[in-house]
Chain A
Amino acid sequence: MGRYILRRLVFAIPTLLGISVVIFAVLALAPGDPLAQFAADPSVPPEVRDQIRENLGLNDPWYIRYFKWLAALVRGDWGYSFTSRVPVLNLIVERLPRTLQVVGVAYLVSILIAIPIGIISAVRPYSLFDNLATTFAFIGFSVPTFFTGPLLIVIFSVRLNWLPFIYDTTLRVTDWETFTRQVRQMIMPVTVLALFQTGSLTRFVRAAMMENLPSDYARTARAKGLGERMVILRHVFRNSMIPVVTLLALGVPTIFTGAIVTEQIFRINGIGELLIKSIQTSDTPVVMAITFIFAVLVVMFNLIADVLYGILDPRIRYD
């Protein structure tokens, strides 16, 4: 097992290098300009913008810029953001807790909702509950967040005036009052995200359970006189978890990169919001850092998912 993990880690290095080259090349080849916002502004003429491009090192060929970036990264330097001229890591560290909080809570909520719904749907297929859950799931994953977000805002903020829709990122939870405010402002973004994720997750749980319910070991367990509840939860559920756990583990990196659309809608200063703004302003160091960290997380959680496989299913052997 240890050797297996080590081997996988060593193989990860060329993978990550490859990913970084591709991302860097795509960014470099896409036209764009950190000062594009000033384009039609005569007080910032093109030659000034060009001088600034030069100072930011944007006029070198992309492969030279890539090696400079890589050399700095090896030394632990992620570079500085062109738009705020602060180290990229500062920006990410500042925003990561927010994203983990909002997207993480949404992820947990959707897992907690999806698993019981999935199990019940599978146990009583085509019942009224299953039909409702299926309808709900299809609505959930087919309605995009850029629709549900503004919809909730119009209903709960504008019409009913119950919830705020501008996320107060300076709020510090110190007492009950600030805690309720924090909860209130998290309700809408978390709902939007959870709604979206729950849908597909429910279908996965249901499908996995349906596959295992008629299996031989379930019949054996019943034959031995185990209660139906025991059979479903201890035997069938545990085996059905193997594909679901993989799916959940592979989804974890997306918690770290945030939710681009939802964070924008509710003005949450998360990683997703930072990523999309940085892409729009051609802030290469920031985009590189976020995408590279994302790549590392994806590779890592792939490994974790594989290891979890072995724990859940002793039949799977490594080496």
Chain B
Amino acid sequence: MNQQRIWSWMAALLTGAMVLAACGGAPPAQAPTPPPATPTTAAAATAAPATAATAAPAPTEAPAARPGRGEGDTLRILYWQAPTILNTHLAVGTKDVEASRLVLEPLAAIDPEGNFVPLLAEEIPTVENGGVAQDFTSITWKLRKDVQWSDGAPFTAADVVFTYNYCADPKTACTSVAAFRGIKSVEALDDYTVKITWQAANSYPYQVFTSARGAILQKAQFEKCVGEAASTAADCQAANLAPIGTGPYKVVEFKPGDVVIYEINELYRDPERPFFKRVELKGGGDAPSAARAVLQAGEVDWAWNLQVEAAVLQQLANQGGQGILVTYNTANVERLLINFTNPDPALGEERGQLSQPHPFLTDLNVRRALALAIDRKAIAEQLYGPAGYPTCTLLWYPPFAESVADIFKGCDQDIAEANRLLDEAGWTRGPDGVRVKDGRRLSLLFQTNVNTLRQKTQELIKANWAEIGVETELKSVDGSVFFGSDPGNPDNIGHFFADIQMYTTGATEPDPTSHLCGWISSAASQKENEWRGTNNMRWQNAEYDALCDQLRKELDPARRVEIARQMDALIVSDVAMIPLVARPRVAGASKDLKGYNPSGWDAELWDVANWYK
């Protein structure tokens, strides 16, 4: 990834936002300026192997222009899902992680370009500065010495080590525990140095204590909360709702499932920040009314995740005049997953097992025809609008892709070719127009969760497939069931008792390894592993497995990008998944709010200390 690419990328996003705002007769959208606070530190992150980004450019705005601490009144934030707990490690949803981020901080944040920004650390450890071991088996973080907890206690390495021990106990039931896997030890070399050692070389050594799920807990507050006490002891229950943090704000009032009130943490390390005296994070309602609140009524300054159908969102943005849409990158892609095993209920216990290959989806021609018949452009434009780009690749973000035009190359709808492929595969049209081969109809069961956008997407795809003689039965399951992990639940994505399913997922960190390696053969979701394997398509591809092994071992950043691209290309060429729409996240901001820089790799509110009016 080079600087040019990032900026052409960002420019594309911003132009989109401006066009939107301009349509409504609203003043031009302000570009979210990079935080002026930490220009030097971003440069330090550039040698990070996973991101390999060049230095973040100098801030576009003179730091002197922004007002100082506490000069602003109240920042009103609206989340249509209400936070229920403020201990990041016990979070049950993104909203909890976000709400706790104003208080609890990780050692380093990740900015929208994928650069690491040190928060509680002095610098980002790299191989060059000796922070990362040559063989990638350990990483050593040097902590800032001037950080205090909001109760006045000094922040030290003991707190970092404690956070690991807290989650390392399975009885604590940390939801962030995946980041702590493969760790041999976390030790404090001295009061301000922490060394993390892995059991084996780790090509992405930044997975722990960074970004949204890496918040550090205060040892003094949570010491007695390790294990079951984390949820059952009264002190710990109180601590989970009001953690002591190092962030710009501290919690003054929290009503679980409703509202959090924050006030400035007077001991925050930057004397100039934060600008707002008070933050109100209100939860509840739904996305369309949140969009209305920020865009039309101007009742709030920031609204999270405006997952609203394009036409409605566009209309609110145009008529409102109170706020603008803010789009930012993530790794998320709405995709179709293809079942490579037979979901026929007649198979009983053998249903969906690897021993039962799918009767026709194992035929590459059929899969290719299905992919070719889909009109991604129509789906993205009509349904997603500013919140989606048509894509035929999963890795649609830098450094893997250059621009949003780039990710949609050569995957225009091609009904003729799709028909030809099916003819070639021996599927002939029956009297009702549906193709038949050896007495079997080309009929699919297509499932997803209940969500207006998804149901409309299903309808469009069903119509596309009807054109090539494929019959589609649509099924939609309630979200909490569809995404549930209960082994006795036959309707979830792990069981995948359908032919095609659709949902959005993507890497949560700039490094795509854990996401890509989730689709290897051995991760197949089966009865034996209680349908918990990440590869719920049960796709078996030896070439892909070998690439994953290579990716896990490769330490050279350029080679890693190359291998990841190959894996992505293989998924697409073998049509294991059909990527549909690349999904940036869309938030709403009031017109006079400035300084925000939401990151898809971190909590949206990661730099709230820099926000001002």
Contact = CB atoms under 8 A, between A and B. Distances in A.
Contacts of A35: 92, 175, 485
B231 interface: yes
Contact of A33 (B285, B297, B486): B486
Contacts of B283: 267
Interface in A239-273: 264-265, 267, 269, 273
B285 A267 contact: yes
A215 interface: no
Contacts, number: 189
A144 interface: no
Contacts of A161: 297
Contacts of A50: 485, 487, 530, 532
Interface in A76-107: 80-87, 91, 94
Interface in A100-159: 150, 153, 157-158
A63 interface: no
Contacts of A174: none
Contacts of B257: 83-84, 91, 269, 273-274, 277
A171 to B, nearest CB: 11
B507 A42 contact: yes
Contacts of A85: 85, 90, 230-231, 236-237, 240
Interface in B25-39: none
A8 B507 CA distance: 60
Contact of B293 (A33, A165, A280): A165
Closest A-B pairs by Cβ, 3 of them:
A39-B483, A31-B489, A33-B484
A31 B534 contact: no
Contact of A164 (B170, B299, B507, B514): B299
Given A35-B485, A166-B282, A41 B505 contact: yes
A282 B480 contact: yes
Given A36-B482, A42-B514, A50-B487, 11 more contacts: A32-B481, A35-B175, A40-B483, A40-B503, A45-B532, A85-B230, A85-B231, A85-B237, A165-B297, A166-B299, A264-B286
Contact of B92 (A31, A34, A157, A164): A34
Contacts of B178: 42-45, 48
A39 B495 CA distance: 13
A44 B213 CA distance: 10
Contacts of A265: 285, 289
A231 to B, nearest CB: 51
A181 interface: no
A183 interface: no
Interface residues of B, number: 74
Contacts of B231: 80, 85
B355 interface: no
* Residue from B259, B283, B480 whose CB has the most chain A CB atoms within 10 Å: B480
Contacts of B241: 84, 86
Contacts of B504: 40
B480 A41 contact: no
Nearest to A150: B289
Contacts of A58: 486
B293 A82 contact: no
Contacts of B484: 31-33, 36, 39, 282
B292 to A, nearest CB: 7
A235 interface: no
Nearest to A282: B480
A294 to B, nearest CB: 18
B26 to A, nearest CB: 16
A52 B480 contact: no
Contact of A44 (B82, B171, B175, B255): B175
B608 interface: no
A65 to B, nearest CB: 13
Interface in B499-530: 503-505, 507-509, 514-515, 518, 530
B505 A42 contact: yes
B213 A43 contact: yes
B84 A81 contact: yes
A80 B484 CA distance: 21
B41 interface: no
A173 interface: no
B177 interface: yes
11 contacts: A31-B481, A33-B484, A33-B489, A36-B484, A50-B530, A80-B237, A84-B240, A161-B297, A165-B293, A264-B285, A277-B257
A170 B259 contact: yes
B177 A48 contact: yes
Interface string B259-285: 101000000000000000000101111
Contacts of A30: 481
Contacts of A32: 480-481, 484, 486, 489
A101 to B, nearest CB: 14
A217 interface: no
Contacts of B507: 42
A52 B297 contact: no
Of listed B176, B178, B228, B241, residue having the most chain A CB within 10 A: B178
Contact of A158 (B78, B286, B296): B296
B560 to A, nearest CB: 17
Given A42-B518, A281-B480, A83 B508 contact: no
A55 B300 contact: no
Contacts of B258: 169, 267, 269
In the complex, which of the residues A80, A81, A86 has the most CB atoms of chain B within 10 Å of its own CB atom? A86
A86 B237 contact: yes
A158 to B, nearest CB: 5
Nearest to B253: A170
B256 A91 contact: yes
Nearest to A86: B237
Contacts of A282: 480, 484
A179 interface: no
Contacts of B503: 40
B123 to A, nearest CB: 25
Contacts of A281: 92, 480
A170 B82 contact: no
